[in-house]
Structure 1
Amino acid sequence: MTSTEQNPVAVRQVTDLHANWSEQGDGESGKFSLQLILDDGAAEAVIRPSAEATKTLVAQFVAGRSFYWDTQREVLLLRGLK
Structure 2
Amino acid sequence: MKEEEVATKAKTADARIKVRKVTNIHSNWSSQGELADGKFSFQLILDNGAEEALVMPTNEDSDVLMDLFDASSELYFDTERRVIIFNGVSASG
Alignment of 1:48-59 (within 5 A): 48-59=56-67
Identify which of structures 1 and 2 has the higher relative contact order when contacts are C-alpha pairs closer than 8 Å and 6+ apart.
1
Partner residue of 2:36?
Answer: 28
Checking the alignment, whether the CA contact within 8 Å between 1:9 and 1:70 is kept in structure 2 is no
Percent identical: 45
- Alignment of 1:39 onto 2:47: yes
RMSD: 1.7
Name the structure with the higher strand share. Answer: 1
> Rg bigger for which structure?
2
TM-score (norm 1): 0.79
Q: Which runs of 4+ in 1 moved over 4 A?
A: none
User: Which of 12, 26, 29 is the equivalent residue of 1:18?
Assistant: 26
Count how many residue pairs are aligned between Structure 1 and Structure 2: 75
Alignment of 1:61-72 (within 5 A): 61-72=69-80
Name the structure with the higher helix share. Answer: 2
- Alignment of 1:74 onto 2:82: yes
